[in-house]
Structure 1
Amino acid sequence: MTLVDYASCIRACSACAVACDDCAGACAKAASSTSLQRCIALCNDCADVCRLTALLMTRESAWAGALCGLCARLCMACAEECLEHALPHCQECAQTCQHCADECEAVSQAS
């Protein structure tokens, strides 16, 4: 696949990393942050994997498709966790993670 083929997924991964960073930060500041520890951890992991996935796609790495598969699974796990919380930033993060998961799954299947 080429950079043009990856463009939509790269944008989705970048947006997801930002949303996850925002969510983790907001959850850490929440009064009930102990109940949000899993959300914070998943958001941090998801943000890091999304950044790495976008980077590998930008480089047109032979490993990009495989990493997209992992990224899709992690984004789904993060989305499911965020949906459990009624906080607006969690709900927004869940939507962004779901979109990224869909984009990454498509790239993974095409690779």
Structure 2
Amino acid sequence: MSGQDSKNDCPKCCVECMDACDILIKKIASNSTYVKQYALLCAEICEYCADHCEAHDHEHCKNCAASCKACAEECKKIAA
């Protein structure tokens, strides 16, 4: 094993989380009518990613989880 193997969705959810954040940024920049809905979805995806990354002892996973939690909180503020 490489030490990077995962028994959960950690590798996939990181990419999904980045994609969700990228889409939200684009929606904010275009002043989309649906920014709040995109922000809620982005928060949900970030929380999902944080949960999966937190399950690992790798430093980069812990850092990702912390960043995802912070991002989710900011997304919730946008959605409010």
Q: Same fold (TM over 0.5)?
A: yes
Report the residue type matching 2:36 in the other structure. Answer: G
Unaligned stretches of 5+ residues in structure 1: 1-29
* Aligned counterpart, 2:77: 106
Query: For 2:78 and 2:35, how far apart are their aligned partners in 1?
Result: 9
1:43 counterpart (14, 19, 22): 14
- Percent of residue pairs bearing the same amino acid type: 30
Corresponding residue for residue 80 of structure 1: 51
- Give the unaligned 5+ runs of structure 2: none
Counterpart residue type for residue 30 of structure 2: R
The SS at the match of 1:35 is: coil
User: How high is the TM-score relative to the length of structure 2?
Assistant: 0.91
Aligned length: 80
Structure with the bigger percentage of helix: 1
Q: For residue 24 of structure 1, what is the aligned residue in structure 2?
A: none
* Runs ≥4 residues deviating over 2 A: 32-37
